[in-house]
Structure 1
Amino acid sequence: MALALSTLDATSHAIAANLGLPWKSTGADRDGSALLAYENEADPTRILHITLRPVFGGRTIALRLSCNGVHINGTTGQWTEGPYTWNTGTDLPSDDTDTDPAALIADVIRDRLLPASIRKPRHVGDTPWEDPDVMAAEVAPAPKPPAKKARARKPRKKTPVAA
């Protein structure tokens, strides 16, 4: 099975429907990719975009997740701000089974990409979301960013006034 560029638009809409309501598909672009956007009005600082690109004649789908916002780094406990990206890919089955490519791609997004945006892996192959002890710590609410301390002022030196 291969995903043709002509069916990319319909497949991206089906993937958005499989992922759930906040996900919307913007359709296929002229460069041969499709964009899925996570739109949540409750938290406008969390912006997620997933780009789908068929490669190798549509037999492999390259997926790229990018998110922006303020996150707490689980390893250091420090607040960081900025864009984050994760990439993965999936091969479509080569036999002519009745496998829905949209459901297969949605499962890869759910199993590999979305956990990475919650708990950032440290290296390729790191899957901290499979360890229940690690994820239990991540479920706890993140601490608030520390408030800036007021600068301590030194007293001014008083010089004697000449009479």
Structure 2
Amino acid sequence: MDNPNIVHAYSFLYYGKGGNVQKLIHSLKYYDNKELGYLLGRQAALELQKANSPLCKTELLLPVPLHPRKQKQRGYNQSEWIALGLSSVWNTPINMSVLQRTKESDTQTHKAIYNRWINVKDIFAVQNTNELKGKHILLIDDVITTGSTISGCIKALHIVPGLQISVFSIAIA
């Protein structure tokens, strides 16, 4: 099967070590501030809409999933809260079940580039490809550092016929 068509990619903010964006992301991920994800997603959606971005026209929002144990520990999926903010402006549906993290992996935070890729190798799977067939989806993550997580998701999604993928993150490092 051919690789899915990657149509667009966009990051809202630049993540600099020790900067304000790092503080925002840490607050979102590690300090139970899920509402911040919603607000950042909403603000990004408003700005993208104002710029008439093609991301606003995607048919389905697909947050990068957490492993169920990690989500239970954290209490929420930060990418889902970002998607909720985007959806509040664009009225685009969110699907939290079709892309799943099937294996628990260590945190990527302190890993070298190669080890990040190995850490996420074959940990994502697609359930019910018919929900995605022929659609243009927006894959959503909080931060893109090396691209290994997004790449792992795209690798899993390659089995879906006619799928077009755009990528959105709150920040890029």
The alignment's TM-score, normalised by the length of structure 1, stands at: 0.30
* TM-score using structure 2 length: 0.28
Higher relative contact order (CA 8 A, sep 6+): 2
Task: Find the structure with the greater CA-based Rg.
Answer: 1
More strand by share: 1
Q: Which has the higher helix share?
A: 2
